[in-house]
Structure 1
Amino acid sequence: MKLVIAEKPSVAQSIAKVLGAASKKDGYLEGNGYYVSWCVGHLVGLAPTERYNENYKKWDLKDLPIIPKNFEYEVSKDKEKQLKVLCKLLNSNDVEAVINACDAGREGELIFRLVYRFAKCQKPMQRLWISSMEDTAIKQGFEKLKDGKEYDLLYESADCRQKADWIVGINATRLFSLLYNQQLNVGRVMSPTLSMIVERNANINAFQPTPFYTVVLENKAVTFISEKIEDKAKAEELLSICKNKHLVISNVESKEKTEKQPKLYDLTTLQREVNRKLGFTANQTLEYIQSLYEKKLCTYPRTDSRFLTEDMADILPELSLYSLAALPFPKDKEVNAPCNARLVIDSGKVSDHHAIIPTKSLKNYDIEQLPYGEKAVLTLIALRLLSSLGDNHIYSETIATAMCEDNTFTTKGKSIIQNGFKEYEKLLNLSENKEEPALPLMAEGEVLENFTAQMKEGKTSAPKQFTEDTLLSAMENTGKEENIEKEFCGIGTPATRSGIIEKLISINLLERKGDKKTKYLVPTDKGNALITILPESICSPITTAEWEEKLKAIELGELSADEFLDGISKMTASLVKTYDVVKGSQQIFPSDRAIVGKCPRCSNDVTENKKGFCCNNKSCGFALWKENRFFTAKKKKLTEKIAKDLLQTGKSKLTGCYSEKTGKTYNATVCLDDTGDKYVNFVLEFDKEK
C-alpha cells in the first residue's frame, strides 16, 4: 500500500477519486492500493517557551533572549485525533511508501515534513507536484512522482522561516511589552510592513500643499491649457493677455503608439487588481481563489510567476474558447477567441508554479452559480487570459501646440486604431481607463478663434494612503533596487502577505478606513507609537527583504540553514542587550485604563481591567484579582474602592462578611499580606473590643 497525505480533506477526496480509493474510513480513504489521508493545516508546530523552561511562562526581562539550541514541537489539541490517524498509517507495516500531496509550495512542504518527522517515519518519500486539481492533472502528477529528497532544501527554507519568526517574535514582543508595560506585538515581517504604512502616513501629515494655476482656453471643439504657474499674479496677467484673443497653431505632432498585452496573473497581481476593481481584501481574494482551485476551475493560486511553460502551448486554444464562452459578452457582438500563445510562454520564468489561469473544467460550466466573490474573481482570471493572448492595442496620440501673444498652450488627444486586447474589458464594462477624445483636424499656422479664457487653481497632492493594492505592490518591490543582480524576493511571500495585513488589523496596529469599495490602510495610535520605539534592525523593510532573499538562497542551496539562523539569533541577542527605552515613553504609550494606585512591589501604576487590578509592569506580576477566593468565600466583591484602600494604606474595612462556618455575617478589616509570591495573600483584622 502507498499512503498519500494531502493538506485538506477536500483535496484528499479529489485525489482519492482519481486513484480509486473509494472506501471511507475514520480519517482516511482506502482502495486500489492506496490510503489517502489529510492534514488540517498545520498539525504540528513549534512548542511555546514554557516547554523549554517552566519559568518562561512568566514574562521576565532577565530570561531574554530565549533561543533554543534544539527546537521542540507540539500538537494542536483540537487536531490530535487526525495526527494519531496519520502516525498510525505512517508506521503501518503494510505502507511501503509515502506520497506528499500537500500544497506544492514552501508551507505545504513544511506541513507534511513536520508530521512525517513527528511520526519518526523512515519510509521512502515521494512528492506530488501539481498546479491544478483537475482529474487529468492529478493523474499526470501521479505518473510523474518526484523523489521527496528533491525538496529537502525547500523544507529547510520553510523550517528556517518558521524558526526565525519564532525567535524574533517571542523575544521582541516580550522585550518591548515589558519595557513599555503593555502588550506590543512585534514580528519579523509584520513590523516592517507596519513601518512602511506609518512612514507614508507621516509624510501625508507633514505634507504642505503648494498652489498652482493654469490658464485654460476653450471653445466648442478643443481645449488648450498653459503650463502650471506658481505665481498667481503672473497667471492673472496671462489670463488678461489671452482674453478675447485668437490662437495660432504652431505645431501638430501625431505618433502611432502600441500598448502590449498585460501579463497573466500571479497571486499578488491578482489580489491587487481585485482590490482596485472590486474592493475585496487580499485575504478575501486568496480565499475565493483557493476555493476555485479546489473546485478545479483555476490553477494553483500561490504562485509568483506570470508565464506558462512550453508544454502548455497546445491547450491554450481550448482554454481561450472556454474562457470566451464563460464570460457574459453581449450576444449581439461578435467576439473572437485570441491565441497568441507565444506571448505567455516562457519556461525560464516559471519556477515552482506557472501563472494563474482557468482550467478545462470551465467548459460548459455556468459561472453564474458560483458565489458572488468567486464569480467575480474567476471572471477576471478568464478575462486576463483572453487579454494576454489578444492583439496589441494601437492608437494615435496627437499633441498640438498653439501660441497666444507669444505664450504657449497645448492640448492632447488620441484616436483608436486597433482596440486589440482592450476590446474584452470594454465589452464587459470593466475598463478602468477613460479614453481621451480625438482632436479635430488642425494644421500648422491655422488660426483658432472664439475662445473663452479662465484661470483654474490647483494644489500639489500629498502622497496617497496605502490601499491593499498599493501596499502589496510596495511589499513585493521593497529592496528591488538593492537586488538588481540577484533573484528578488521583497517582504513576505505571495502566500503570506495577505495574512500579515489581517494580523496587523486584528492586533489593533492598523485599521481600514474609507468607503465601501476603496479602503485605505491607516496606522492606529498604537501602531504609530510602536514604530516610534522600534529600532531599525526590527522594522527596516530593506533588512526583511534581505532575509527573504536569504531564505530563497537556502532553497537554492546557496546558503546553509545554520548560517541564516545564527545571524537571526545574534541580531536578536544584540537587540535584547543594547536596546534602551525611548525617553518620554509614558507620553508615547498613554494608558487608557484608570490608575487606581501604585504597585507595592515596583512602584509602577496599577490599573483596572476586566479581571482585576494589575501592575502595568508585566515583569512584576502583582495583581488583585476580582474573583479572588478570599473575597468570594465571604460573598464580597473586590471593588475599585477596596483596591485603592489596599494600595494606599494596605487596609480596607469590610462590612457584612459571610461566615461559611456559622452562616452569619460580621465586620472586619482586610489587610495586604504580600510576600512577593505568584499570588497576593490577605489577612483579616478584627476590632479588639469585639
Structure 2
Amino acid sequence: MGKILIVAEKPSQAREYAKTLDVKGKGDGFLHNEHYIITWCIGHLLELDRPEEYMDIEKVGKRWGLHRLPVLPQIQNFKHQVKASTRSQYQVLVKLLKSSEIDHVICGTDADREGQLLFQEIWDTVQCQKPLKRLWISSLTGEAIREGMNKLQREEEVKGLAQAGYGRSYADWDFGMNLTEGFTSLFGSFDPVRKKPNVISIGRVQTPTLALVVEREWEIEQFNPIQYCEVEADFEANAGCYTGKWIDDPTKQEMQEEKYELDMKPNQQASELTEHGLDRIRAEEIAAKVKGKQGSIYSIEAKEIQEPHPLLFDLTSLTVAASKRFGMSAEQVLKTAQSLYEKKAITYPRTDCNFLPPDILPKLPAHLQALRIEPYKAWVEEAVKKDLPKGKRVINQITAHHAIIPTTERVSPEKLSLDEGKLWDMIVRRFLGIWFPPARYETTVVLTQVEGEYFRTRGKVLLELGWKDLLGDTADEDTSNQPKRRRGKSKKREEGEDGEADFVDLPILSNGESIKTLKAVIKEKETKPPKRYTQGDLLKAMENAGKKVEDELLQQQLKGKGLGTVATRPAIIENLLDRGYLLQEHRTLHPTEKGKELIRLIKEELPKAQLLVSAEMTGQMEYELSQVEQGKQELTNYMVQVENAIREILNELKVFQSAFGKRPLALAPVKSKSKTSKTKSRNNSSSKTELKDQKAKQEEAVQAQALREVLGSCPLCGGEIVEGNKGYGCMNYRQGCSFVVWKTPICGKVLTPAQMKKLLSKGKTDLIKGFRSKTGKNFSAYLVWQEARSSQLKFMFDKDT
C-alpha cells in the first residue's frame, strides 16, 4: 500500500502536521514515515507571466503604450512560471505528486481562498490524477488536526473555492496589467529624483480604496466651519450643585432626544444646528436672563440601560481595536495574528466572521480551561460556573471560519513577543467577556426651568460592570461603595473628541424642587470637519464598501460586498503607501498629490473608468466572486464582466489620447528615511525583502527604458533618442552607437526635450530667447546641426533664414 502525501502551505505548518501524526523522518524538502509524506509550499510557488509573454514584441515594441492593449488571455490560456527563489521546492513537490510511492494526496494549505489557490495552481499544472482530499481546520492544535484528518473534505466540496481563487488572481492580473500600462503610458513620466518611472498603478481593489481616502480629504478641504454658541449654567439645589446645558423647547423633547447625537456631531452644517446652536446675541440674552435667578426642576427621567458584550473578533475588528489602542498597522496586525496562529495560541485569523457555530459549544469549556493562568485565572473560575454562552451575539451563522478565539493549548505569555502579547491579551479578554452579563447603567435626564428657559443635565451611574471588568474599559470606574449619583463617562470623551463631558455629577434631586442659578457662561464653538482615516478606520470602510455603519449586527449583512477580503486589505493599504498614493502621518492617512490627481482625473474626465473609484461597484464584483465560490455563478461569466469593463476603459483612454495627448500626473513624494515600526518588522525577513527588491529594481529598469519618451530618430544609426540624466542619447548605445547631445549649458541655456524633439525632426529648434554672450548681452537664435552625425550644433539667426 502506498503513502499519503500532505501538502502544507509553509514549513512551520508542515511541522505541526508531522508532530501530530508522529512523522519524524526528514528528507530534502519533506518529512516522512511509513504512512505519510508531508511537504510544503512556500507561499505561491508559481506566478502569472507578464503581458509581454502574450505579445508579438517585434510587432508592438517594448515600450508601454495603449497600442499594445488589451491583453486578456482566456482562462485556459493563462501562463504560469515558477518563482526563481522557490524553484527547488517546486521541483520537490512535482516529483512527489508524480511519484508511484504516493497513492493519495491531501491539500493541507491554509483553509481559505488563497491557500486553496496556491495548491491548485501546482495540482493543475502537474495534471495529477491521484485521489485528492481537503484538510479543513481552524487551528493548528493537535486536537484540531486529528479531528480534521477524520473529517477530510472531498475535492468537489472545494471546487468553487478553487475557481474563486483563480477568478481573483486572473481579474487582478487583467485589471492591474492592462490598466497600469494604459494609465502609465498616458499619465506616467520619468521621475528624475528617483531615476525611475512614475508608474500610475491601477488595481481592482487598490484604486477604489484610494478614492475613499481622497474623497474624505476633499470633504475636509471643502469644509466650512460654522461658529455657534452654547449656554451652560451652574445650579444650586438642596443636596448640592450641578450643571445644565440650554435647550430649546422641552415639549419637543422626544424629537430632540433622537436628533441630539446628530446635531452635535462635529461635521453638521448650520441648518442642522438650529435646535442647539445659538448665535452670540441670543446666547448673551439667555445668559443675562437666567444669571442669579431662581428656578425649579421641571422633570426628572431615570431609566436603566444595558450594554451587551462586543462581538468576538474577526480580523477587521481586531485590526481596528489594535490600531486604536496600540497604533499597530493593518499589515503588522495580520503578521502578528498569523504568528500567534502558527504558535497554536489562536484559531485561524484570516476570518471575516464574528460568531461561533453551534457544534463548538461542547468544546468551549476546554478553550476556557486553557486560560486558567494569570491574570485571567479569577475570571475563568467565575466563567466555568456559568452556562455556556448561546445568544445570537455568540452562536450564529458562520462563513468559512468562525471568530478568532484562544485555542485549547496552554500558552505561556512570557514566550510571546511584545506585539503578540498585546494581541493575544485582547483576544483572550474578548473571548472571556462572552460569559459575563451586560454592563448596566442608570441614566438620568433632568430638565431645569429658569425664567422660561430650559437646561438639560444628564447623569449616568454604573450599576454593574459585567463584561467591562475584563476588557480594561473601566479605568475611571470605581466599583467600591459610594453615593449613587456620580460622574459617568461622556461618549465624546470616550471617543476622544473635544468638548465637555455630556454626563455630569448629579446630586439627589426631586421634581418641582427650587434651585438657584449661580452662574451662566457662554461657550463659543465651531463645527469640525470629518476626521481623516486611520488604517483601522479605512479597513472598516473597505469592509462596508464605504458605507458608514455603526451597528455591529448590521455590519454582518454588508460582509461579502466590501473592497477585497480580510486577508488582502492590509496589503492593499501597504501598496498604496509604497506606491506613493498615500502618506501616513502619526496614525492618520493623507493622500498625496499623485493620489488626488489620479482620482480627480478619473472622476472628472473618464466616465467609463468610474467603476475604478466606486466602492459599491467593486464591492459588487467581490460579491459575485463569492457567488463563484458557492457554485452559484460560472467563472467564465465573471471573467466576461471583468474583460468588458477593461475594454471599455482602455477604449476611453485611447479616445482621450487622441484628443488631448499625454498628461503626466504629479510625482510621488520622497519618503522619509526615518525608521518606522514597519521598517523594523521588515528587518526580520531581510533576505526575502532583498529578493523582492532585486526583482522590483529589474522591473523598474525595464519600465524606465520603456517609459522614456522617444524624441526622434538617431542621425547616426536610426535608433530611438531619449532623454537621460546628463544628455539626450541613443537607445542603441549598448550596440555601440555613440550619438549624444549633452545638457551642457550653451550660452546659459540648456536644451529642453521639446527643443531636442524639434531639432531631430526639423533640423533646427524654434527661436530660443535668453542666450547670453561672453560680453553679457542677451540674444535670440535658433540651434541647428553643424554636423548631425557627430551631434555638433551651431547658432542660426533670423538674418540667416
| TM range, smaller chain | 0.7 to 0.9
1:225 alignment partner in structure 2: 245
* One-letter code aligned to 1:103: D
State the shift of 1:376 in Å: 0.2
Change (3 A) 1:59 1:71: same
Matches within 5 A, 1:51-450: 51-55=53-57, 57-69=62-74, 70-182=77-189, 183-218=199-234, 221-227=241-247, 228-323=276-371, 325-327=373-375, 340-343=388-391, 349-361=397-409, 363=410, 365-426=411-472, 429=475, 436=503, 439-449=506-516
* 2:14 aligned with 1:12: yes
- Cα deviation per residue 1:245-301 (whole Å; 9 max; x = unaligned)? 233110000011111111111111111111111110111001001000000000000
1:30 alignment partner in structure 2: 32
Change (3 A) 1:614 1:406: same
1:662 alignment partner in structure 2: none
Q: Is the Cα–Cα contact under 8 Å of residues 311 and 394 in structure 2 kept in the other structure?
A: no
Tell me the SS of whatever aligns to 2:328.
Answer: coil
* One-letter code aligned to 1:244: G
Change (3 A) 1:452 1:326: same
- Cα deviation per residue 1:589-626 (whole Å; 9 max; x = unaligned)? 25699xxxxxxxxxxxxxxx999999754899742557
State the shift of 1:368 in Å: 2.7
Change (3 A) 1:397 1:477: same
Change (3 A) 1:49 1:672: farther
Tell me the SS of whatever aligns to 2:612.
Answer: helix
1:39 alignment partner in structure 2: 41
Q: Which runs of 5+ in 1 are unaligned?
A: 594-608, 653-668, 674-681, 686-690
Matches within 5 A, 1:534-573: 534=602, 535-573=609-647
Paired-residue identity, %: 31
* One-letter code aligned to 2:14: A
Tell me the SS of whatever aligns to 1:275.
Answer: helix
- Counterpart Cα distance in 2 of 1:346 and 1:429: 26
State the shift of 1:231 in Å: 1.6
Pick one of 476, 481, 486 that aligns with 2:543. 476
* One-letter code aligned to 2:639: L
Change (3 A) 1:619 1:497: farther
- Counterpart Cα distance in 2 of 1:612 and 1:133: 45
- Cα deviation per residue 1:359-417 (whole Å; 9 max; x = unaligned)? 121x3x32133111010000000010011221111111100000111001000011111
Q: Is the Cα–Cα contact under 8 Å of residues 153 and 554 in structure 1 kept in the other structure?
A: yes
Q: Is the Cα–Cα contact under 8 Å of residues 330 and 427 in structure 1 kept in the other structure?
A: no
Q: Is the Cα–Cα contact under 8 Å of residues 329 and 427 in structure 1 kept in the other structure?
A: no
- Counterpart Cα distance in 2 of 1:91 and 1:555: 28
Q: Is the Cα–Cα contact under 8 Å of residues 592 and 668 in structure 2 kept in the other structure?
A: no
Q: Is the Cα–Cα contact under 8 Å of residues 187 and 664 in structure 2 kept in the other structure?
A: no
- Counterpart Cα distance in 2 of 1:209 and 1:316: 52
TM-score (norm 1): 0.85
- Counterpart Cα distance in 2 of 1:630 and 1:91: 48
- Counterpart Cα distance in 2 of 1:302 and 1:296: 14
2:576 alignment partner in structure 1: 504
State the shift of 1:522 in Å: 1.1
TM-score (norm 2): 0.74
2:651 alignment partner in structure 1: 577
Q: Is the Cα–Cα contact under 8 Å of residues 292 and 519 in structure 2 kept in the other structure?
A: yes
- Counterpart Cα distance in 1 of 2:327 and 2:28: 41
Tell me the SS of whatever aligns to 2:508.
Answer: coil
State the shift of 1:237 in Å: 0.8
Tell me the SS of whatever aligns to 1:256.
Answer: strand
- Counterpart Cα distance in 2 of 1:204 and 1:458: 18
State the shift of 1:316 in Å: 2.0
State the shift of 1:230 in Å: 3.1
**Range moving further from structure 2, 319-328 or 549-558:** 319-328
Q: Is the Cα–Cα contact under 8 Å of residues 215 and 226 in structure 1 kept in the other structure?
A: yes
Tell me the SS of whatever aligns to 1:566.
Answer: helix
* One-letter code aligned to 1:473: K
Change (3 A) 1:484 1:42: closer
* One-letter code aligned to 1:478: A
Q: Is the Cα–Cα contact under 8 Å of residues 310 and 347 in structure 1 kept in the other structure?
A: yes
Tell me the SS of whatever aligns to 2:656.
Answer: coil
Q: Is the Cα–Cα contact under 8 Å of residues 61 and 619 in structure 1 kept in the other structure?
A: no
**RMSD (Å) for aligned C-alpha atoms:** 3.5
Change (3 A) 1:575 1:224: same
- Counterpart Cα distance in 2 of 1:41 and 1:631: 38
* One-letter code aligned to 1:79: T
* 2:563 aligned with 1:491: yes
Q: Is the Cα–Cα contact under 8 Å of residues 24 and 32 in structure 2 kept in the other structure?
A: yes
State the shift of 1:439 in Å: 2.0
Tell me the SS of whatever aligns to 1:104.
Answer: coil
State the shift of 1:354 in Å: 0.8
2:715 alignment partner in structure 1: none
- Counterpart Cα distance in 1 of 2:424 and 2:107: 28
* One-letter code aligned to 1:641: T
Change (3 A) 1:428 1:638: farther
State the shift of 1:218 in Å: 1.9
- Counterpart Cα distance in 2 of 1:185 and 1:443: 66
State the shift of 1:512 in Å: 0.7
* 2:639 aligned with 1:623: no
Change (3 A) 1:672 1:75: farther
- Counterpart Cα distance in 2 of 1:610 and 1:101: 38
Q: Is the Cα–Cα contact under 8 Å of residues 357 and 382 in structure 1 kept in the other structure?
A: yes
2:595 alignment partner in structure 1: 527
Tell me the SS of whatever aligns to 1:401.
Answer: strand
Change (3 A) 1:72 1:500: same
- Counterpart Cα distance in 2 of 1:499 and 1:335: 40
Q: Is the Cα–Cα contact under 8 Å of residues 295 and 517 in structure 2 kept in the other structure?
A: no
Tell me the SS of whatever aligns to 1:451.
Answer: strand
State the shift of 1:430 in Å: 11
- Counterpart Cα distance in 2 of 1:315 and 1:339: 13
Q: Is the Cα–Cα contact under 8 Å of residues 337 and 420 in structure 2 kept in the other structure?
A: yes
- Counterpart Cα distance in 2 of 1:464 and 1:180: 30
Tell me the SS of whatever aligns to 2:102.
Answer: coil
State the shift of 1:644 in Å: 3.5
Change (3 A) 1:41 1:164: same
Change (3 A) 1:632 1:378: same
Change (3 A) 1:345 1:131: farther
Tell me the SS of whatever aligns to 2:373.
Answer: helix
- Cα deviation per residue 1:42-79 (whole Å; 9 max; x = unaligned)? 11121111111252643121121111122111111111
* One-letter code aligned to 1:201: E
Q: Is the Cα–Cα contact under 8 Å of residues 272 and 473 in structure 1 kept in the other structure?
A: yes
